[in-house]
Each structure stands twice: as structure tokens, then as C-alpha cells.
Amino acid sequence: MQFVGMGQKLLDVPSVKELYNDASQILGYDLLELCLRGPKSTLDETVYCQPATVVSSLAAVELLYQQQETAVSNCMAVAGFSVGEITALIFTGAISFPEGINLVKIRAEAMQASSQLTRSGMMSVFIGADNKLPLGLQVAEEWCRREHNITNPVCRVANHLYTGAKVVAGNEEGLQFLEQNRDDFQIRKTKRLPVSGAFHTPLMQPAVEPFTEALKFTKISNPRFFTFIFFSYSCSWPCS
């Protein structure tokens, strides 16, 4: 999750500043300045928080490599969730750092644009074994149709955190309905996420085409571990 000051503790690690600088050249703005000083309202915007998350994650791996080289060099597999998938691809050398940042830029811009088409968002819901969350989601969508004339409303589970917690995403009206009527569906607590749209739902469909087009022009290599490759930003961990 993005926060003002992210990356601050990594700046003493060799190549981290260059990592941010090279990303900034591709993005067209000073990413490190935004990460360190915000403002938070800007950093929370999809178009900025996705690149900030990816680059700061790679910078954190630089720190890990400096502190415990074998933890990185002996890595057997990596995994990423959502935009973290691109982080994982860069780490393994499946895609280069410049191409990875370009993908993140296009992805973030497309998802930001999709978010602006419809009032939407995400929130964590905390539930017990007796929950009626599936019913709540159905009723919330019906509420959107009947009370707000939304033709194809979305209110659904976007992420499964653990047994007692899910992330629900969709139309703002549906999320508000769940918040206001949570006791009816045995929802113990809700907490809004600092994001600008309903990610991992059909409301992001407009972002699919531009990202798909960008992928067509991205060179993807076989991921390889234990071989050092030094990208333009002087990557010091075994990226491929």
C-alpha cells in the first residue's frame, strides 16, 4: 500500500536513486519526490500509486540483496498480485525494467481513466462464519438498479484476504448501501481502501484494450534465476 515517505529508508542502498530516476524519465515526473513528499492525495491516485508501488518494491529487493544476498540469489520462484505481477516479471528478467515501467504507466493511466467513468471504489469487509455477505452483495446491486437507475451495477468480492476478510468492489452506491446496512448481513466491520476505482471488477473493462495493445509490443523473455543482468539502472540483484 502506498504512503508518503515510501522509499525513504532505501536511499542509502546503491542504485536505488538511479532506479527511481530512470523510472521518472519514463513516467515523465519525479517519482521519488512524489513518494517521499506526496501529497498523499496525489500519491493515492491510480496513475501514480501503481508506479510508486512497483519501483519501491524493486528498491526493497535491492535492500534485501545488500543485507542478505543469498535470500535473493537462491530464489526459486516469485509471485505478484495485481500490479505486483509486473514487479515479479521485472525481478525475474522476463521483461526489462524500462518495458516494465512503460507497462505500469499504460496500465495505471488506463485504469485511472476507467475509474473516472463511474463512481466506484473498494473496501475491506470483516465477517464471521454466520455472515450473509453474498446476499448483501445481491441486494446492494438490486438497490443500485432500483434506486439509482444503474443498468449494470457491480458489487462483488474482488479479493479474498482470508476466511474472515474480503475486499468488496463496485459502484459507490452499492458500497454505501453495504456500509449503512452491514448489520443486516452480519458484516462486523468495513474499511474503505485509498483507491480511486473498483479494481478487479468488470468496471475496469475499458482498461483492457490499451493494456493488451501495450503487451503486444513488449518483449517477454524466459525468466532465468542465478544469472546476473545489469539493467540501465545498475540492478545489483540476479534479475534473470
pLDDT digits (tens, 9 = 90+) for 8-22: 999 999 899 999 999
* Domain CATH code at residue 141: 3.30.70.250
182/139 same-domain check: yes
Q: Whole-structure pTM over 0.85, yes or no?
A: yes
* Percent of the chain residues topping a pLDDT of 70: 93
In this predicted model, which residue has the larger pLDDT, 171 or 84? 171
Q: Is residue 116 pLDDT above 60, yes or no? A: yes
- Total structural domains in the chain? 2
Q: Is residue 143 within 8 Å of 173, Cβ to Cβ?
A: yes
pLDDT at 225: 53
Q: Would residue 73 show up in a list of annotated catalytic residues for this protein? A: no
> Out of 56, 200, 234, 236, which one is annotated catalytic?
200
Q: In what order do the strands lie in the sheet with 155-162?
A: 155-162, 165-171, 120-127, 187-192
pLDDT at 75: 84
Mean predicted confidence (pLDDT) in 198-227: 88
pLDDT at 97: 97
Q: Provide the residue range defining the domain that includes 179.
A: 119-195
Q: Would residue 15 show up in a list of annotated catalytic residues for this protein? A: no
60/123 same-domain check: no
20/87 same-domain check: yes
> Out of 15, 73, 82, 236, which one is annotated catalytic?
82
Cell reading at 27 = 513516467
